[in-house]
A and B are shown apart, each in its own frame.
Chain A
């Protein structure tokens, strides 16, 4: 057969590519047999991902009795609204910190040599290789009242121990460190596509560097800001380990509250209603953003 004439969309040659017997080819272009390969993954994801989520939803409207009382409780208790506001506030804060830190870093990656860029990328990836738990443990050591940061503050500036751990500051610091790579990578990939001649062109036309940046460069890097921002924000909303270990038990976030309702108070209905609320927020943000940002992927290489 003439291999050169094979095209990508030609389904019948794909059947041959699969090593299907010639008889299968005659059955027509609809070769469905490779679909069988999807079955194991489909079954596992359905049984151990979709079913558990459905279970969460069902519990939220049936426990302790059928009805919407859990959601009523969720929206009418002032303490809950505080937790929600705190969670969103922290996620927004972390997203901004990451954007401010990642933007110059990603920009630098576009103007350095290939070797330096590879190094810079490696440095961004390396923290992802260490578990969040280990990194949180390290922050616990550093931030505690008798830790090195407070010792230095006491020795050099003569200021008594400043509470760093069990504060929003500690949580935001730890979360930003963990989430920064998820901001740098999409930013870099969108900046790498920007034509480097545009900025000199803008300054030739009389724009000062600041104007050139805000009117030319920043708008062109928007897809990266969007997808990095969304990733960091939705991952930030669901964080559990870092707030649990670096935060204060009095200022908990949604994740910790879910855990508390279910494991401590055995209030399955209320805990699962909070879970569905968190999930709904995540999905809503993704849907809204994918409307605005057609080019951005819904699944940037996320690693929880």
Chain B
């Protein structure tokens, strides 16, 4: 019993260490003084005002949202197609093909970033919207595929067969039977893709240009080059954006685990 209690105390300390340090950024964002000193002095919303009135910050927020939404659409569409393909056929090298799609998860980000930088230099894609979307798709699609594959595994193949035997065409079967059944996995995958793109830093740092910088790039540049406390406000905003999106994703997958009556 006492050892369990000891473990409990240890676990609480771990949770505090995991979660509490990040929260200091919230009071910092309401600091009245133009510094990063903690505890903050006074209360002011000036950094939020700064963020929402500065055209440069607004431009990168808009760029981030644009890239993340487009990445979500591309990665989800292509990822769902690939997952369906992988689940429908058995062929030699299928495992290899699956591994090939997941490979971007294990390659060090900096190596891929350098490669994309070099490639985009030649293709004139640096700092362009398609460049950002393609780069983010590479690291988002594996998450879509793993989520959708997991849903497809729980799918009863007889349902699709029933649809087919009742005369449902391939496309109709997909949209009226398969897609609704794997929707939780697709939703979760899409939201993961959005957040991955919205938070992506390393690739974005290399493929940025003065004309197109996503929010994390702007935050990174601001932290390393200036001492503008506006980043605290921006950090809080991006933090809440990702947390809310991930909570929704969590909710979507929760539903999936409930047995289908």
Binding site for B on A (CB under 8 A): 1, 3, 6, 8-9, 11, 13-14, 16-20, 31-32, 34-38, 40-42, 44-45, 48-49, 51-56, 59, 101, 104-105, 107-108, 111, 120, 123-135, 137-142, 144, 146-148, 177, 180, 234, 237-238, 240-241, 244-245, 254-255, 258-259, 262, 268, 271-272, 275-276, 278-279, 282, 286, 298-299, 301-304
Asked, given contacts A3-B161, A55-B115, whether A32 binds B107 with beta carbons under 8 Å apart, the answer is no
Instruction: Tell me the bound Cα distance from A108 to B6 in angstroms.
Output: 10
**Docked pose: A54 CA to B105 CA in angstroms:** 17
A283 CB → nearest B CB, Å: 8
Specify which of A123, A147, A278 is in contact with B19 (CB 8 Å cutoff). A123
Question: Given the complex of chains A and B, what is the CA–CA distance between A197 and B157 in angstroms?
Answer: 38
CB <8 Å contact, B110 and A120 = no
Answer yes or no: B56 CB below 8 A from chain A CBs: no
| Of the residues B85, B89, B199, contact of A131 by C-beta under 8 Å | B199
- Asked if A132 contacts B199 (CB within 8 A), the reply is yes
In the complex the two chains form, is B106's CB within 8 Å of A34's CB? no
CB-defined A-B contacts under 8 Å, sample of 25: A8-B157, A17-B160, A17-B164, A38-B85, A41-B101, A42-B97, A44-B138, A49-B112, A51-B119, A53-B107, A104-B11, A105-B14, A108-B7, A108-B8, A108-B10, A131-B199, A142-B21, A147-B38, A148-B38, A234-B108, A240-B109, A275-B111, A279-B107, A299-B106, A304-B139
Shortest B252–chain A CB gap in Å is 14
> In the bound complex, do residue B141 and residue A3 qualify as a contact, i.e. CB atoms below 8 Å apart?
no
Q: B157 near A53 (CB under 8 angstroms)?
A: no
Given known contacts A241-B220, A275-B114, A282-B108, is B19 in contact with A38 (CB within 8 Å)?
A: no
Indicate whether A279 sits within 8 Å of B111 (C-beta atoms), given known contacts A45-B138, A133-B216: yes
Please measure, in the bound complex, the distance between the C-alpha atom of A257 and the C-alpha atom of B116, giving whole angstroms: 17
Q: Is the interface of B mostly helix, strand, loop or mixed?
A: helix
Contact B24 A14 (CB under 8 A): no
Contacts A44-B137, A134-B239, A148-B39 given; indicate if A298 touches B100 (C-beta within 8 A): no
Give 1 or 0 for each of B110-131: 1 = CB within 8 Å of chain A CB.
1110111111000000000000
Residue numbers in B under 8 Å from A279 (CB-CB): 107-108, 111
Pair A31/B201 contact, Cβ less than 8 Å: no
Residues from chain A with Cβ under 8 Å of B81 in the complex: 37-38, 40-41
- Measured as residues with beta carbon below 8 angstroms from the partner, the interface class of chain B is 35 or more
Given contacts A14-B88, A41-B141, A123-B15, contact A131 B78 (CB under 8 A): no
Q: Are B18 and A177 in contact (CB under 8 A)?
A: yes
A-B interface contact total, Cβ < 8 Å: 275
For residue B179, CB closer than 8 A to chain A, the reply is no
Chain B, residues 163-182, CB within 8 Å of chain A (1/0): the string is 11100111111100000000
Contacts of A31 in B (CB 8 A): 89
B220 to chain A: closest residue by CB: A133
Chain A nearest Cβ from B213, distance in angstroms? 13
Q: Which residues of A contact B173 (CB under 8 A)?
A: 18-19
Interfacial chain B residues near A48, Cβ < 8 Å: 116, 119, 134-135, 137-138
Cβ distance B111 to chain A, nearest Cβ, rounded Å:
4
Within 8 A of A (CB), among B7-47: 7-8, 10-11, 14-15, 17-19, 21-25, 28, 36-39
Is B146 part of the contact surface with A, judged by Cβ < 8 Å? yes
Q: With contacts A53-B107, A286-B106 known, is A177 near B24, CB below 8 A?
A: no
B86 located at the interface, meaning its Cβ lies under 8 Å from any Cβ of chain A in the complex: yes
B231 located at the interface, meaning its Cβ lies under 8 Å from any Cβ of chain A in the complex: yes
> Using a CB–CB distance below 8 Å, which chain B residues touch chain A?
4, 7-8, 10-11, 14-15, 17-19, 21-25, 28, 36-39, 77-79, 81-82, 84-86, 88-91, 97, 99-112, 114-119, 134-135, 137-139, 141, 143, 145-146, 157-158, 160-165, 168-174, 195-196, 198-199, 201-202, 216, 219-220, 223-224, 231-232, 235, 238-239, 242-243, 246-247, 250
Q: Which residues of B contact A53 (CB under 8 A)?
A: 107, 111-112, 115
Asked if A258 contacts B24 (CB within 8 A), the reply is: no
CA distance A8 to B141 in the complex (A): 27
Q: Which residue of A lies closest to B3 (CB)?
A: A209
B-chain residues with CB within 8 Å of residue A3 when the two chains form the complex: 158, 161-162, 165
Contact partner of A13 among B8, B161, B219, CB < 8 A? B161
Report how far A146 CA is from B10 CA in the complex, Å. 29
Q: Least Cβ distance of B102 to chain A in Å?
A: 5
Whether B11 lies near A108 (C-beta < 8 A) is yes
Question: Nearest Cβ distance between residue A180 and chain B, in whole angstroms?
Answer: 7
Contacts of A123 in B (CB 8 A): 15, 18-19
